[in-house]
Amino acid sequence: MIDIPTLLGFSAAVLVSIAILLLLTRPRGGARLWLAMPFLAGACCCALLLWPALKQAPAAGYIGTFFALLAFAAGWQGIRSIFHLPPRWGLLLAPPLCWLALVAAVFGPGEMSSLNAAGRAALAALYCGLSAVTLVQRRDPALPSARLLARILMVSAALAAVAMTLSPWLPEPLGAGAPRTWAVAVFSGIVLIDVLLVCGLMVAVLKEQAASRLYDEATRDPLTGLYNRRLLDEKLGIWDQEDRVSGTVRAALFFDIDEFKSINDRFGHDMGDKVICQAARAAEQAVRRDDLIFRYGGEEFLCILPDSSLKAGLAAAERLRSTFERCAQEVAGHRIDATLSVGVAISQGRRSNAGALVAAADRQMYRAKQAGRNRVMGSDDD
């Protein structure tokens, strides 16, 4: 029959192995250490709990349980570190330290084992709940594993809350009763299953973050930070399919910096890059948060405004034109007086073709150029 020391020793070995594996992974900065910390603290917990299992040493058991609570706290910060959130040291350390002080001063001398066990379970529920809330608040469609991890942590928090209410009747380490081998086996099994699931999902979240970051880098223009032509080409087919089903009406704003070659010739290409970035920032100010802005090529840009009308598109184009004209009068201490021309076109719902929409906005932009530049032209006739 498996005894308690064997179970604790096996659990400690598994936790140390997982911590080493996590330390060898690639998260940057302090994230690597924070991800390994819960498992290192859990291994310390199991090692210290071996002493009262082999000898009568209750103090070691209390410190071991303190490390178990630190493991829950470090797990919460490990999840926060994935999203580059700083440690909240007060909430990390104060609850476990308060529990340890109460055990030493009140629970232990007063033989209040039920309150002791309930306090342990309450802190475990607290940190599992905080971890789940962090994942829910930082939800990202590009991180599907984070949603599953949040559900597992919510279940863990609920189980800890149940254990808190049943602590007077459950044997240690599940509750306040006399230790039983089966209780240690159940506890160790639950911990190991949770650890393996959480570890696997945390690694999956890190990989999803890396994949999302690489995709974002591949679809962004390095100079302006706007979306690039590659992403636009992907989106054109998607919009065609969506519009045939939903009948979504989109406005397209195609704009170009007037006489840009003259700016490069007079002030140099570095200044030209600054003017291009100024146009990108003006576009971000002029359109809505959910609208898409692309650097089409060189000094040409495209904005796509979903669920928009020609009137709304023309208004956004005029905001863009006037904002850029104001901001580009002087750039980096040089009088530039740059302007831009904007063409606006509107799609035709289910009969739309996204490529034709972009071409129509482009034609309207050339009409604006021919009419004297620094103006907006638009029509729904295309």
Which one of 299, 300, 325, 330 is the catalytic residue?
299
Cis preceding linkage at 173, omega within 30 = yes
Alpha-carbon distance 137 to 130, whole Å?
10
**Residue written as token pair 């917990």:** 45
Question: Is 318 noted as a catalytic residue in this protein?
Answer: no
Start-end of H helices in the chain: 4-23, 31-54, 58-82, 89-102, 113-137, 144-166, 181-218, 229-246, 260-267, 269-286, 310-327, 354-370
Alpha-carbon distance 241 to 250, whole Å?
13
Cα distances (Å, whole numbers) of residue 108 to 60, 101, 176, 288: 13, 10, 12, 61
Rg (alpha carbons) of the chain, rounded to whole number: 30
Q: For residues 305 and 250, is the Cβ–Cβ distance under 8 A? A: yes
Alpha-carbon distance 155 to 253, whole Å?
48
Q: Report the amino acid identity of residue 310.
A: L
User: Residue 147: left if φ>0, alpha if ψ -120 to 50, beta else—which one?
Assistant: alpha
Alpha-carbon distance 170 to 159, whole Å?
13
Alpha-carbon distance 282 to 323, whole Å?
6
Per-residue three-class SS string for 248-317:
CCEEEEEEEECCHHHHHHHHCHHHHHHHHHHHHHHHHHHCCCCCEEEEEECCEEEEEEECCCHHHHHHHH
With CA atoms as reference, report the closest residue to 83 among 43, 136, 42.
136
Task: Kindly list the catalytic residues.
Answer: 299
